[in-house]
Chain A
Amino acid sequence: MSFLELREVRKSYAHHPVVHGIDLQVEKGEFVSLLGPSGCGKTTTLQMIAGIEPVTQGRILLDGRDITDTKPHTRGLGIVFQTYALFPHMTVADNVAFGLEMRHRPKAERQDRVRAALALVKLDQQGQRYPRELSGGQRQRVALARALVIEPPVLLLDEPLSNLDAKLREEMQFELRRIQRRVGTTTVMVTHDQSEALSVSDRVVVMQAGRITQVDTPARLYEHPGNRFISTFVGKANLLPGQWVDGERGPGVQIGDLHLAAPDLAAPAGSPVLVALRPEKLRLQPAGQGLLQGRVLECFFLGSQWLYRLQTPVGELLLVTPNDGRPALAVGDDSGLDWPAHSVRLLPADAAEALA
């Protein structure tokens, strides 16, 4: 049985449902992210696990014990809040020691564990300072140390990196993952940032409008998005509506005049489908060659990559290519395009429209 389990958990505010029955199992030591746009119910779900928001219906089990109706201060979970929620009137060391003090640990043990926790987040020199004397990244690490020092069964992170600037956010992503690996605490993180979710999680739970729509490892989620929304929310995607055909040219999708071979896929003949192609799976070919011809409409230099917007017979396509020293295309240039057949993804057209 899994360590943390949500069974049909629902939440309504005054008969207005915001979370419609969530089932989720988290294994011991796992790092799971709840990913979704704002208003999808991910934070509410986290707050129900934390006990801050009461559960309207359903059960939450921790290590086989039903904690649905227990008070937050008896659950003993470690929580890192979006605003960090440090105690402004206490030093960093006192902030971290607070949870141990509440558990009536002896003073010597408290000091040792606080020191170890601060060393873990590389703040051993800042123990006697006050939160407002620290930078955003340091505050974030104090919050993490404060949550981890009590050795909680589950660590809950509510948008922990959203208040940091881009560079620091990237550093902290990896730092977070490194610390979580070392400590081995089961972790549930809420985020609206897909790259954050992909880079640190063992599994990503995508939520849309109060429902879970896909649960997968980051790589599988990226390569096999379950619907149209996920394909564009997690990374970028070119979406092309077409029709499934299985004629003399083999199984594939007919998009206008173009027959797009998809040997590994299957769908009912004649049914409308949506083709998803990742921009980085497209490859530039000399003009006149490849599967498709396009003309550059716009190009953006991203440092390590080039991003092109191309006009093709099947519509506009985005293409990302590494900046590997080959001469770049300019606006108005013609180019051929191709892609490996196995990188073509099919999304059910009807369901996709309904969710989008």
Chain B
Amino acid sequence: MRQGTPWLLSAPAMALFLTLLIAPLALTALLSFNVFDEVRGVQADQYTLRNYLDLFVDPYYWGIFWRTFWIAGLTTLICVAVGAPEAYVLSRMRAPWRTLGLLVVLAPLLVSVVVRAFGWSLLLGPEGPINQALSLFGIGPLRLLYTETAIVIALVHVMLPFMVIPVWTSLQKLDPSVEQAAASLQAGPFTVLRRIVLPQVLPGILSGSLIVFGLAASSFAIPGLLGGRRLKMVATVVYDQYLNELNWPQGAAVALTLLLANLVVMLSYNRLVERRYQKALG
């Protein structure tokens, strides 16, 4: 009984995990090997590797995967560049302002992603406030909506909290006297930031970028609404395969390939950074 207790206690979570994640994933994996016939639909008893082979030979898919990953990578990079300093500034603010600032950072999470995407499409449209403002300086009108730029801007907006929160958490763990010690050894404020603070919040930046990259690479609503019909990302292709082409096996193959590619990128990134700082940061 003693030995079984941990299993018993985690049983509800395990059941949830198995039925809501593992089972659908296994079914999707199975589906991705099924034969699809244009006339008769999915053949549940016939298996093939064609769905995967198509992904590897068709440049159409290469382009979509490449776009997905560079957009996710760029989004992550911008989130690091904006979110890490933002978390640092927030952690240095005084009591009432700090809470207010944190609330502003978290606010996007309180609004539906669809509403936010529509908001951006209004802002970025040819007649939108941004183009109107630019025209005052004689620039434009710029084509922003339905471009990769629009997708990146909206993704950064949505993902920023996922970067700020882990960095904020690791900043909270810092001993303020460590910075004072560095200052007493004649390190200027910028050196303290670069040599003392940054290396210590690196784990926070690492986990933040993993979350942001994973969510951005598999994002659906924002590329769907701000990328238009022409600019596809992997998640929107999966949607198309399922609901427009009705080619479920192909959609399942794309979805699983995205999952695997995402895993490979995230794990190798994690290992790369962790190996470098493992010894120092434990």
Contacts and interface: CB of A to CB of B under 8 A. Distances in A.
Interface in A58-112: 71-79, 81-83, 85-90, 98-99, 102-103
A85 B177 contact: yes
Interface string B155-193: 000000000000000000001011011111111110100
A200 interface: no
Interface in A126-156: 130, 132, 143, 146-147, 150
Nearest to B187: A102
Contacts of B185: 73, 98-99, 102, 146, 150
B134 interface: no
Contacts of A72: 180, 183-184
A87 B180 contact: no
A93 to B, nearest CB: 13
A255 B186 CA distance: 60
Contact of B186 (A76, A89, A132): A76
A150 B199 CA distance: 23
A89 B199 contact: yes
Given A83-B175, A85-B175, A50 B184 contact: yes
Nearest to B202: A89
B178 A87 contact: yes
Given A89-B277, A150-B185, A52 B180 contact: yes
B175 A78 contact: no
A132 B280 CA distance: 9
Nearest to A79: B184
A83 B196 CA distance: 16
A73 B177 contact: no
Contacts of B229: none
A90 B151 CA distance: 40
Interface in B249-282: 277, 279-282
Contact of B180 (A81, A89, A132): A81
B61 to A, nearest CB: 42
Nearest to A50: B184
Given A81-B177, A86-B178, A73 B187 contact: yes
A33 B261 CA distance: 63
A44 to B, nearest CB: 14
B280 A130 contact: yes
Contact of A89 (B184, B189, B191, B280): B280
A76 B187 CA distance: 10
B75 interface: no
A99 B186 contact: yes
Contacts of A79: 180-181, 184
B281 A89 contact: yes
A78 B184 contact: yes
B200 interface: yes
A98 B187 contact: yes
A49 to B, nearest CB: 11
- Give the secondary structure class of A's interface: loop
A81 B181 contact: yes
A69 to B, nearest CB: 15
B177 A83 contact: yes
Interface in B86-100: none
A351 to B, nearest CB: 38
Those 8 A-B pairs whose CB atoms lie nearest each other, nearest first: A99-B185, A85-B181, A89-B280, A85-B177, A81-B177, A102-B186, A89-B199, A79-B184
A147 B200 CA distance: 21
Contacts of A87: 178, 181-182, 196
Nearest to B181: A85
Q: Which of A82, A90, A102, A103 has the most CB of B within 10 A?
A: A102
A106 B279 CA distance: 27
A71 B185 CA distance: 12
Given A102-B185, A102-B191, A90 B280 contact: yes
Contacts of B180: 50, 52, 72, 79, 81, 85
Q: Which of B182, B185, B188 has the most CB of A within 10 A?
A: B185
A338 to B, nearest CB: 51
Given A79-B181, A81-B181, A83-B175, A88 B281 contact: yes
A73 B200 contact: no
Interface string B198-220: 01100000000000000000000
Contacts of B196: 87
B198 to A, nearest CB: 9
A74 B185 CA distance: 9
Nearest to B184: A79
Q: Which of B181, B191, B277 has the most CB of A within 10 A?
A: B181
Contacts of B184: 50-51, 72-73, 75, 77-79, 147
Nearest to A99: B185
A74 B184 CA distance: 8
A72 B178 CA distance: 13
